[in-house]
Amino acid sequence: MTIDRQSRRSVLIGIVGGVCATTLLPGCATENSKGQEAIESILKLLRHQGVAAHLGRLEVEANPELQSLTLEQLGADLLSAIGLDIDNITDNQIDTIHERLSIKIRQDFSDEAITTVDGWLLSATEAKACALVYLKIT
């Protein structure tokens, strides 16, 4: 079987695009690479990934609406809660994620949007962030 020149090029473009999309290599623009970068930014904010994943698993198990969400969907939900659109996010906005999350978490406590997970008192936003860590590792 022979593969013509155009077919080989299409295959190579597909492979390179897939590698760029999964590793977020600099200069590899994919449709939603900024959104993926924003989600990674949220994940990096949680210092104790093991504890966050444990709490996230319990949060997902306790909330059927979270069980059907993908990592990207939950990430988009969290970003939306802090006033960002995953499909139109910029580098400057990514740089503000930590501050925006801190404000949202404080607001959750003021609004009594809190939950207890395995003895931890978490804001709704913190619980979703933990669920995001859990979804990342599963």
Query: Assign residue 62 a region: left if phi > 0, alpha if psi is -120 to 50, beta otherwise?
Result: alpha
Which domain does 24 fall in, by range? 1-29
| pLDDT confidence band for 25 (50 / 70 / 90) | very low
Give pLDDT, residue 8: 41
- The residue that leads in pLDDT, 13 or 125, is 125
Amino acid letter, 57: R
Q: Are residues 16 and 72 in the same domain?
A: no
Q: Are residues 19 and 54 in the same domain?
A: no
Helix/strand/coil percentages in the chain, nearest 5: 70, 5, 25
Q: Are residues 60 and 126 in the same domain?
A: yes
Q: Are residues 20 and 73 in the same domain?
A: no
Q: What is the mean pLDDT of residues 8-25?
A: 40
State how many domains the chain has: 2
Give pLDDT, residue 32: 65
| Unique residue bearing structure tokens 């709490």 | 55
Q: The pTM is what?
A: 0.76
CB count in 10 Å sphere of residue 25: 12
